[in-house]
Structure 1
Amino acid sequence: MTPRVDRINRVFLILIGIVLVVIGVLALLQSGSVFGSARAKSPVVSDPTAHWYGANGTWFWPTAGAVMLVIAGLCVWWVSAQIRTQGSTRIELDRGHDGTVTASAAALADCVEADTIAQPGIARARAKLSSVGEITRLHLTLWVESPYDIADAVARVTNTVLPHLSYAFDGPTPRPLRTTIHVEAAEAPAARLR
């Protein structure tokens, strides 16, 4: 998820949270007779409002339905923005007179994971590759084994795994590689419970 999407999420969630809190507080205050006992006993929808809905139902309810469809569409767009992966799932390795060589980002990520796990001191790895324009992005998570020498693990990845991946992009037009490495401790579940 990009920082822009994160920012939009936070703004929307804060606004929705504020609106819901205000509605909840007003409902509690009304039911607690803060606005008067007559108001606390009044129905949620007053008679004049109910009559207005009845008199204008021919246009009001279709309009309300259309607004709800627009809101539902915005919700679907928002959810798809959360799960959408940025960039292409195919990465161009080489382009020449005979054609273009592309590879699956998932297959390259599997190769990076296998190469990373082969390094001493690294128990597990998870890689995600995507292509945005001419730039290839690699997000790599390492689980480092005891004695948790993080500097050594990152150095091994930087000096061995990344050059192997960069070699795949060494065509006539090499692709820039942007790498993010996240390191975690590969502890046994029992060790965490102690």
Structure 2
Amino acid sequence: MVRDRARRSARGNRWGLAVVGAVPLAAGLAALAAGRGLFGASLAESPLLSASAADFLGRPWVPYAAVAVAFVAGFLALRWLMIQGLNDTVGRLVLDKGNDGRVEMSESVARGALEQEVADYPGVRRARARLTESSDAPHLRLALTLDDDADVRGVWQRVRSDALANLRSSLDLERVPAVVRMSMTAPAKNPRRGLA
């Protein structure tokens, strides 16, 4: 359900950006075409605003209203940008809860232990983990950077059989859905030999 909500949010962001970009673009192109006479010479020579519109915009409160609208639009745009920067990492993990209270653990503790364990595997240069989605049923995103000569299959088997099993055991969960991404470092270039 959370993933579907994230997809809907991403789709809404794309449509919103498309509309916000397309409306001013269409208005600008229409104004340019009218000014060039593509809709007829009479339209190109007529004033941009009618007398009643010019009279309305000349009232003393209109600039203040325009500033207020600009502030609201700026605030909404800033809020939207801040939301885009947020990630879906959970802050705390719930290990147990009952009538007497809850037992929680910081996500950074579980993440740090997992990263340290996987980083110690042969061939693993760097491990970065994130626990996301829900504090009761977290999902794991694990990004590994391997040496160019690493045994990829061996690393994957150790992650699956050891690291993920240890994480499930420490969180007391039967399953932790995981996405593991592995990338290789570029091989070191041979140093050029100097001429004797």
Question: Residues 47, 53 of structure 1: CA spacing in aligned structure 2 closer, same or farther, 3 A cutoff?
Answer: same
Who is 2:49 aligned against? 46
Please provide the CA RMSD for this pair: 3.3
Match of 1:157 among 156, 159, 166: 159
Q: Does 1:142 align with 2:144?
A: yes
Letter in 2 for 1:75: A
Q: Deviations over 1:113-155 (max 9, x none)?
A: 1111111222212111136152012111111221465433322
Aligned residue identity for 2:21: G
| Higher normalized contact order (CA 8 Å, seq sep 6+, divided by chain length) | 1
2:116 maps to what in 1?
A: 114
* Alignment equivalent of 1:85, drawn from 64, 83, 87: 87
The CA deviation string for residues 131-180 of structure 1, in whole angstroms up to 9 with x for no partner, is 6152012111111221465433322211121112112112xxx3642212
2:22 matches 1:23: no
Structure 2 residue 181 is the aligned partner of structure 1 residue 182: yes
TM-score, with length taken from structure 2: 0.74
Look up the match of 2:127. 125
Pair 87,142 (structure 1): closer, same or farther in 2 beyond 3 Å? closer
Segments of 5+ residues of structure 1 without an aligned counterpart are none
TM-score by length of structure 1 reads: 0.74
Offset, 1:36: 4.9
Q: Which runs of 4+ in 1 moved over 6 A?
A: none
